[in-house]
Amino acid sequence: MVRIGVTTFQGDVEEHLAATREALRRLGVPGEVVTVKLPEEVEGLDALIIPGGESTVMGRLAQRTGALDAIRRRVLEGMPVLGTCAGLIFLAKRVYDRVVGETGQPLLGVLDVLVERNAYGRQRESFEVELDIPALGARGFRAVFIRAPSILEVGEGVEVLASYGNRPVAVRQEAVYGTTFHPELSGSTAFHEALVREAVRFSRR
Amino acid sequence: MISLVLSDRERPGVRELESYGRLVRRGTTAVKRGFAHMLKHGVVMDVTNVEQAQIAEEAGAVAVMVLDKLPYDVRKAGGVARTASIKAIEEIMDHVTIPVMAKCRIGHTWEARVLEEVGVDMIDESEVLTPADEERHIWKWDFTTPFVCGARDLGEALRRIEEGASMIRTKGEPGTGNVAEAVRHMRIVKAEIRRIRAIYEEGDEQELIKAARELRVSYELVVETARLGRLPVVNFAAGGIATPADAALMMSLGCDGIFVGSGIFKSADPLERAQAIVLATTYWDRPEKVLEAQRMVSEAKSMTGMDLKTLELRMQERGTG
């Protein structure tokens, strides 16, 4: 029995709830998927997902309510986490924006990457493309990039799971997963299944 | 997952290019509706200049909506309300990192084209501005930029989706600081969905076809809505929201997020009120948090509301076809 949370500060929460339930079903893992927006709700989770949305909004609400510190502590204890798009930004150590430079926004800082926000441009430049993600055994993965960030630098302990062009778009540092696109919109549950497997390992520790 | 119903119409708005040896597609239904999905549980705030846009961003707005005048002032000014100055839109785009939306007149395809060229992230084909075409809305499938449209009932909402809207919001009654119409519109949509859902569960195809005729939309869109038990695109509340408790009320009715028009910048405490409405939108189901939010604002500083019975202009009655 694993317990997986999805942060509900802001963003496409419901898509992650559905994808995670589907991943549990496909893997035959008994578990529950819950929403998380208060610090006490972070306790007892075997994994956490931070959805797409606006990273500045999530960061401010998480900071205000004390959930930011609670999440960071659990991730440093080894709790697996998946951040997609804004979620990746929230996980990152350093964030840069072309419009305002260093953003100074509240971050978890648990994933050793430098991320540029809105790196591909505005919504008009948002796109979808099919990617191969060999580390997860996925071919022709429908990757949807929405005002997506870009990973400019990765630290030593960071494994690149997928790239598009010359930039990493999916990375992993131990049990911390981040994607610049939205696997929760793709119809494939490859990333959610990877997280469920991590949650099972973590729950048995 | 994003509902892709009717996406066979998306072709005119899709831009294809090859990048790093792969086919890249912009403006697909998934990309346009997906953008709206990223706004969920958030607050979009009406602004008229850079200063207001920065206050909104600082307060935790998920996007800003640029207008020439706030809806309250549109009411006061009378005359023809048009899309905002391009200069104002561009300045705001250069000073905030969150998405920037702008309004165009109902049916005004070329105001929308101009907004798309400027590069706004979403276009609101809005009843707050004076309609340019009394008969029809913009055919929004022709655009790469996603659209949001207002609706008072299920038929209006589905007709807008059929025309290519990627997001719906209640019309409410803009610029009044009175949430009653937004509540009414949300309740109507919910009740109508409940009705077609019941027909769908009974498997009564004849009644579903009849419902589609009454709603004046395609059968497949009605079936999709009935199957999902909700609108197939993101649905926000708008029109008259002025306090944190108003936002929490709308979220409790099943909205995906909130638009605040005049409520923030026609109040005397805009930054605190904006922060408080963001807090109440996320924590709407936690009364202690809504209280915390409500404590951040003063009723004495709320915008003066308007009684709906005395209104000369009912903006919600524009563009209902």
- The 3-state secondary structure of A18-70 reads HHHHHHHHHHCCCEEEEEECCHHHHCCCCEEEECCCCHHHHHHHHHHHCHHHH
Q: Which chain B residue lies closest to A146 (C-alpha atoms)?
A: B35
The answer to whether B77 and A97 are in contact (CB under 8 A) is no
CB contacts of A53 in chain B (<8 Å) are 38-42, 62
* pLDDT(A162) > 90: yes
* pLDDT(A142) > 80: yes
Q: Exactly one of B103, B140, B190, B266 is catalytic; which is it?
A: B103
Three-state SS at B127: coil
* pLDDT(A100) > 80: no
Predicted confidence at residue B305, as pLDDT, reads: 87
* pLDDT(A198) > 80: yes
B103 is catalytic: yes
CB contacts of A13 in chain B (<8 Å) are 40-41
Residue A91: C-alpha distances to residues A17, A80, A171, B58 (Å): 19, 12, 12, 20
Q: Which residues of A are catalytic?
A: 85, 182, 184
CA distance B243 to B240: 9
Quick check: B99 contacting A, CB < 8 Å? yes
Predicted confidence at residue A70, as pLDDT, reads: 98
Which residue, B150, B151, B178, is CA-closest to B308?
A: B178
Quick check: B296 contacting A, CB < 8 Å? no
Predicted confidence at residue B217, as pLDDT, reads: 98
- pTM here is 0.97
Which residue matches tokens 């109440």? B280
CA distance A109 to B278: 24
Three-state SS at B307: coil
Q: In what order do the strands lie in the sheet with A47-50?
A: A31-36, A2-7, A47-50, A81-84, A176-179, A167-173, A159-164
How near does any CA of chain B get to the CA of A202, in Å?
28
Predicted confidence at residue B58, as pLDDT, reads: 95
Predicted confidence at residue A104, as pLDDT, reads: 84
Quick check: B136 contacting A, CB < 8 Å? no
Residue with the larger pLDDT of the pair A19 and B306: A19
**β-strands A92-97, A111-117 pairing:** parallel
Domain ranges within chain A, ordered by starting residue? 2-203
Predicted confidence at residue B312, as pLDDT, reads: 86
pLDDT digits (tens, 9 = 90+) for A28-58: 999 999 999 999 999 999 999 999 999 999 9
C-alpha torsion sign, points B215, B217, B223, B224? negative
Predicted confidence at residue B89, as pLDDT, reads: 98
Q: In what order do the strands lie in the sheet with A127-133?
A: A138-145, A127-133, B22-26, B15-19
Q: Shortest CB distance from A56 goes to which of B20, B57, B120?
A: B57
Residue by residue, pLDDT tens for chain B (321 residues) are 799 999 999 999 999 999 999 999 999 999 999 999 999 999 999 999 999 999 999 999 999 999 999 999 999 999 999 999 999 999 999 999 999 999 999 999 999 999 999 999 999 999 999 999 999 999 999 999 999 999 999 999 999 999 999 999 999 999 999 999 999 999 999 999 999 999 999 999 999 999 999 999 999 999 999 999 999 999 999 999 999 999 999 999 999 999 999 999 999 999 999 999 999 999 999 999 999 999 999 999 998 888 888 888 999 999 998
Q: Fold for domain A2-203?
A: Rossmann fold (3.40.50)
The answer to whether B146 and B122 are in contact (CB under 8 A) is yes
Q: Shortest CB distance from A13 goes to which of B27, B40, B60?
A: B40
Q: Shortest CB distance from A15 goes to which of B22, B23, B37?
A: B37
Look at A128 and B98 and tell me if their CB atoms are within 8 Å: no
Q: Give the pLDDT band of residue A205 (cuts 50, 70, 90).
A: confident
CB contacts of B98 in chain A (<8 Å) are 54, 56-57
Predicted confidence at residue B213, as pLDDT, reads: 98
The answer to whether B209 and B267 are in contact (CB under 8 A) is no
Pure H helices in A66-178: 67-76, 86-91
